[in-house]
């Protein structure tokens, strides 16, 4: 190609290049935003996240409280039962009931359990099975009752004092690493972020690939390349589609955050906001990393039907990395495998934000991962745009990757 005149206005060249890239990006942006698929896809994912949150809510609500009706002698244990259950992390609401109505109340679902009988021999009526923690709380009362009676029989003056002393005895626990409910929440937030990133990068990467082949198969690319350079077309396409993907990620992430915080499911809002912010950065890195690979792969073929064959290797890397890394991370985010995998440039954009959310990560790891990914972006952008430039006007049969690269040197 003719080189611009030496001494000719570099400034003008830069301005016209920027203008071309912006025009291409804007066309991509408009085309996608006007497309119903964007709206429907976004709504569907938000709905799915909403569903997940609702499920969490019911599980939380169901797991946390239990209604117990007490009948006969058991009516006296109400305070003790509530206290015991509280220690086990269960909120118990007690009511009294007439023994005859027990069965009806349980069957109607008004109460979770009806407790009858003397404290030394409770009889519990439930629909299907007894909540484990409720059972423990009741057993404790029975055991206490039995032991107090036994102590009195053995001639102990003040059985209650002995019991009090016994209950104060405790084990001294030193945790080397433990999971708290907050850790679990962090892990879930991290996993959701990893999934969103995986989804965004694969979806919008595929859009880039489809766009490249559409321009090739419709032959419009030759008209475009008679007025703008290949890199401008490529960059405009990647930037435009990347922006659409970014806005979708932020909309979905933001909506999920608001929903989860408003419903009280999410207790680590600060962590989640931080994760979303990191997610945006990693989306940008990851998208630029993969978009040029997708574009280069797509430029090798001339028809949409042939697209799958060249995209499969790229997809395998992404899916394989996602599945393997995801499992390792959920199992133990601090394990060596998780650390190593999350530093690999092609996997880092999906796995690292998850690890950041989980919290168990050193600053040097984040820095190293960003540095390595940036290097990979630079290398792959160079390689990808070379392949794209050489293959984009080659019509007909699929061009070999090596051929597309070799042409670059001549």
**Residues within the interface to another protein (CB under 8 A):** 1-2, 4-5, 8, 12-13, 16, 19-20, 23-24, 27, 31, 214-215, 218-229, 393, 395
Residue found under tokens 């008679």:
226
* Residue 106 burial (10 A CB sphere; 0-12, 13-18, 19+): buried
Residue 218: C-alpha distances to residues 211, 223, 304 (Å)? 11, 11, 10
- State in angstroms the smallest separation of the CB of 399 from another protein: 14
Of 90, 49, 20, the residue nearest 261 (C-alpha) = 49
Which positions ≥6 away from 234 have C-beta within 8 Å?
Answer: 292, 295, 385, 388
- State in angstroms the smallest separation of the CB of 26 from another protein: 9
Whichever of 25 and 343 has its CB closer to another protein, that residue is: 25
- State in angstroms the smallest separation of the CB of 226 from another protein: 4
- State in angstroms the smallest separation of the CB of 177 from another protein: 55
Whichever of 183 and 214 has its CB closer to another protein, that residue is: 214
How far apart are the C-alpha atoms of 268 and 261, rounded to whole Å? Answer: 9
- Provide the CA 134 distance to its chain's centre, in angstroms: 33
- State in angstroms the smallest separation of the CB of 388 from another protein: 14
Which positions ≥6 away from 118 have C-beta within 8 Å?
Answer: 73, 74
Residue 371: C-alpha distances to residues 178, 275, 344, 348, 377 (Å)? 31, 19, 11, 11, 10
How far apart are the C-alpha atoms of 49 and 116, rounded to whole Å? Answer: 43
- State in angstroms the smallest separation of the CB of 242 from another protein: 20
Whichever of 215 and 360 has its CB closer to another protein, that residue is: 215
Whichever of 258 and 395 has its CB closer to another protein, that residue is: 395
- State in angstroms the smallest separation of the CB of 223 from another protein: 6
Whichever of 270 and 396 has its CB closer to another protein, that residue is: 396
112-138 as b/e: b if 16+ CB within 10 A: bbbbbeebeebebbbeeebbebbbebb
How far apart are the C-alpha atoms of 293 and 315, rounded to whole Å? Answer: 11
Whichever of 23 and 124 has its CB closer to another protein, that residue is: 23
The span from the first CA to the last CA of the chain, in angstroms, equals 13
- State in angstroms the smallest separation of the CB of 6 from another protein: 9
Of 96, 95, 94, 88, the residue nearest 63 (C-alpha) = 88
Whichever of 331 and 406 has its CB closer to another protein, that residue is: 406
- State in angstroms the smallest separation of the CB of 8 from another protein: 6
Whichever of 227 and 336 has its CB closer to another protein, that residue is: 227
Which positions ≥6 away from 292 have C-beta within 8 Å?
Answer: 234, 238, 380, 381, 383, 384, 385, 388
Tokens for 349, please give them.
């954009």
Whichever of 229 and 398 has its CB closer to another protein, that residue is: 229
């Amino acid at each position: 190609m003719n080189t611009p005149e030496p001494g000719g206005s570099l400034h003008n060249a830069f301005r016209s290049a920027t203008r071309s890239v912006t025009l291409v990006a804007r066309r991509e942006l408009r085309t996608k935003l006007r497309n119903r698929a964007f709206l429907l896809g976004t709504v569907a994912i938000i709905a799915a996240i909403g569903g997940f949150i609702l499920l969490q809510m019911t599980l939380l609500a169901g797991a946390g409280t239990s209604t117990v009706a007490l009948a006969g002698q058991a009516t006296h244990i109400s305070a003790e039962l509530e206290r015991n259950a509280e220690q086990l992390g269960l909120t118990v609401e007690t009511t009294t009931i007439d023994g005859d109505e027990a069965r009806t109340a349980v069957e109607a679902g008004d109460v979770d359990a009806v407790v009858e009988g003397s404290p030394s021999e409770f009889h519990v009526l439930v629909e299907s099975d007894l909540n484990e923690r409720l059972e423990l709380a009741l057993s404790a009362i029975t055991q206490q009752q039995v032991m107090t009676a036994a102590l009195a029989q053995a001639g102990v003056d003040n059985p209650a004092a002995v019991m009090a002393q016994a209950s104060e005895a405790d084990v001294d626990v030193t945790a080397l690493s433990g999971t708290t409910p907050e850790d679990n929440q962090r892990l879930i937030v991290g996993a959701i972020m990893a999934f969103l990133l995986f989804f965004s990068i694969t979806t919008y990467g595929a859009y880039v690939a489809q766009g490249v082949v559409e321009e090739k198969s419709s032959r419009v690319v030759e008209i475009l390349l008679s007025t703008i350079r290949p890199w401008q077309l490529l960059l405009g396409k990647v930037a435009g589609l990347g922006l659409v993907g970014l806005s979708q990620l932020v909309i979905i992430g933001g909506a999920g955050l608001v929903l989860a915080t408003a419903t009280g499911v999410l207790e680590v809002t600060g962590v989640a906001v931080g994760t979303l912010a990191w997610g945006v950065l990693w989306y940008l890195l990851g998208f630029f990393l993969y978009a040029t690979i997708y574009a280069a792969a797509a430029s090798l073929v001339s028809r949409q039907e042939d697209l799958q064959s060249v995209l499969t290797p790229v997809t395998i890397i992404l899916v394989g990395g996602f599945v393997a890394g995801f499992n390792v991370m959920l199992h133990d985010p601090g394990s060596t495998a998780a650390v190593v995998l999350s530093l690999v440039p092609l996997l880092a954009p999906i796995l690292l934000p998850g690890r950041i959310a989980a919290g168990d990560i050193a600053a040097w790891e984040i820095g190293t991962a960003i540095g390595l990914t940036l290097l990979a972006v630079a290398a792959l952008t160079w390689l990808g745009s070379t392949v794209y430039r050489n293959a984009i006007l080659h019509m007909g049969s699929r061009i070999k990757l090596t051929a597309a690269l070799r042409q670059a040197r001549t």
